[in-house]
Amino acid sequence: MSTTNVAAKSGAATRGNPLLGKWTAPFELPPFERIKPAHFRPAIDKGIETHKAEVEKILSNTATPTFANSIAAMEKSGALLTRVLRVFYNLTGSHTNPELQAIERDIAPILSKHGTEISLDPRLFARVDTIFARGKRQKLDAEQRRVLERTHAGLVRAGARLDAAAKTRMGEINSRLATLGTTFSQNVLADEQAYKLILEGEADLAGLPDFVRAAAKRAGDDLGHPGKHVITLSRSSIETFLQFSTRRDLREAAFAAWIRRGEGGGDHDNRAVATEILALRAERAKLLGFATFAKFRLEDAMAKTPEAVAKLLDQVWTAAKAKAGAERALLQRMVDSEGGNFQIEAWDWRHYAEKVRKAEYDLDEAEIKPYFQLDRMIEAAFDTATRLFGITFVARTDLPKYQEDVRTWEVKHPDGRHLGVFVGDYFARPSKRSGAWMSAFRGQQRLRGDIHPVIVNVLNFARGADGEPTLLSFTDARTLFHEFGHALHGLLSDVTYPSIAGTAVSTDFVELPSQLYEHWLEEPEVLKRFARHHTTGEPIPDTLLDRLKAANTFNQGFSTVEYVSSALADMELHALESFDGFDLSRFEADMLKRLGMPREIVMRHRLPHFAHIFSGGGYAAGYYSYMWSEVMDADAFDAFEETGNAFDPATAKKLAEFIYSAGNRRDPVEAYTAFRGRLPTPVAMMRNRGLV
């Protein structure tokens, strides 16, 4: 085929493609109503082609390398590809279908190859290294120096100093890892979509309160079982069922399906996939001069070494296991008092924990949930942001959206100027992967003009019945605040360069803004204003608030053991040097036996479905980050409490300046110290979890 014909074919494929044209909706939001799956592959190909041309122009420039013609120019490049991929990957996570999944599998190695070719191009590293070597002789501001430092470090860690053969192998590894990460994620989703526990009659519904029944009936209607009640493997569905169902046999069956995602044999079994991922990561680390992937990963994190992580996790593990043992004894006594002739098992824990909580603290979820209506919790999250940072949220029903349940708000500066757009996608559905996360359709920057962010929170709440409000557990409400803390990190970003904007910080720092934000949910003045009964409008009673506070550390041994066992498994996996003859299930069983894992508790994320560390690897050798950040968030909230005002303006101003708006402008140690005046200690975290 002639060059002319190739160009003509390419033009025909991209002409009229809504992903490639000008976006004319308010705030330049994507034209979701016009985008079809068939539009993505031509748009991605065009984005790659354009990005290659932009990079080639930079690298073939014969002028002396400078920050402007090299670093800043690279930051500007790839805008089209980034725009298309942000839409694509947001949809594959939150509203996917078989067509999108096929494209996702196809493009994973292509995008990896594209990124590797750029990062390992010797011309790029030569330019960056030349600029980096000039050091302080250049007239660069602090943000430019940080971008230069991070760019140089990123290229070195990508393999820019390797020889040609090693670079070739690095490219092969990256490509294969991209494919495997996509496969892992899609396998987990397939297992989640495949399972439905259909509750046939009143006997199957035994123990379930009205709000659980309503959500299960809605799930049945949505999943093609009208009139039936259906439990899915969405966390908000399965956990409430395990909490309330008095049918121990059904709890056991549902729990078994939940914990065996990715381990059922057949096409969706992830054990071989995970093993290959681990082996390739270890090989990549060795190519870069590190004994293990864990050492490679942590060198560029706040923690710096696996030993520092182990010190924290081991300290918490010992205390958590002891507390969990005491909790188990309470639960077993409850079983015995009811005449149950059995030892408590993992599928019993949530059920009897709910009973003990009611007995010990006069609390049960059915009493709490009516006060935690989804809409009011969204208002609470917004109001907290207004009080801390002065920003406001205006509902917009005129903006395009990718699914009918999605909601959008315009976010404004204190002076009324446009700040960004916030998108909320709150309800579970089969097209959405499980979990909760924050992402962006557009990140903030000033390099290519004053670009305002478009941030999305995706959650998986069980929607209420038709005409009824969606009620949240206190844990659900905490999750909403957590993800909104991430959203604020993206919305408040105020930097020039896209590579350091918003949440582009080290993994063990990125959870600080989100976990810190959770603390405001527990403030009595927030709860009294927004936690109102969904039928009477009455504020949550002081007596219930007192009981909630008294129960704050209840079941924290269980929760901490669940989490820390997963974090320890992640670190131990990535500390291995060889995977010859490796068996993922045997590794997990042996590790848990060595740790003395309580028999009645299962890891929060068993390895065959541990998407945090295997679906792309954002938290590989980094799942500890939640606890590392919890040390900081507990200490950081103490900064407010020390003033006697949870909304202290001076402290909030420093929080915005050094944490929420600063992106990766500073090293995280420097950023936290600038906010707090010192580094954190684990005292507040251990106290909050009731471990001291």
Rounded to 5 degrees, what are φ and ψ at 459?
Answer: -130, 180
d(CA 230, CA 254): 11
How far apart (Å, rounded) are the C-alpha atoms in residues 159 and 120?
A: 6
User: Measured in Å, how far apart are the chain's first and last C-alpha atoms?
Assistant: 73
User: Are 603 and 566 contacting, i.e. CB atoms less than 8 angstroms apart?
Assistant: yes
Amino acid at 581: G
Three-state SS at 402: coil
- Annotated catalytic residue, options 483, 518, 522, 600: 483
How many Cα neighbours within 13 Å face the side chain of 253? Answer: 13
- Whole-Å CA distances, 617 to 181, 182, 278, 455, 623: 7, 10, 10, 22, 10
Give dist(CA 234, CA 428) in Å, integer: 7
Contact of 335 with 352, CB cutoff 8 Å: yes
Give the whole-angstrom CA distance, residue 408 versus residue 423: 5
Return the structure tokens found at 88: 């694509």
Distance CA 416, CA 69 (A): 36
What tokens appear for 336 in the block? 């015995």
Instruction: Give the largest CA-CA distance in the chain.
Output: 84
3-state secondary structure 591-634: HHHHHCCCCCCCCCCCHHHCHHHHCCCCCCCCCCHHHHHHHHHH
What is the Cα–Cα distance from 492 to 488, expressed in whole angstroms?
A: 6
Cβ contacts of 133 within 8 Å, gap of 6 or more: none
List Cβ neighbours of 623 (8 Å cut-off, separation of 6 or more): 566, 567, 570, 571, 605, 610, 612, 613
Please count the CA atoms within 13 angstroms of the CA of 298 that sit on its side-chain side.
23
Q: CB of 510 within 8 A of CB of 633?
A: no
Q: Angle 210-222/235-244 helices, nearest 10 degrees? A: 140
Measured CA to CA, the distance from residue 329 to residue 326 in angstroms comes to 5
The stretches of 15-97 forming alpha helices (DSSP H) are: 37-59, 73-76, 79-94
522 is catalytic: no
Task: Tell me the β-bridge partners of 424.
Answer: 407, 457
Tell me the C-alpha distance between 419 and 492, whole Å: 8
Q: Token pair of 431, please?
A: 């097209």
CA pair distance 631, 112, nearest whole angstrom: 35
Q: What CA–CA distance (Å, rounded) separates 125 from 156?
A: 8
Helix (H) or strand (E) holding 166: helix 164-194
The residues that bridge with 393 in the sheet, in sequence order, are 411
Q: Please count the helices (runs of H) and the strands (runs of E) in the chain.
A: 28, 7
Q: Give the Cα separation of 146 and 410 in Å (integer).
A: 31
The three-state secondary structure class of 206 is coil
Q: What is the CA radius of gyration of the chain?
A: 25
User: Which active-site residues does the annotation give?
Assistant: 483
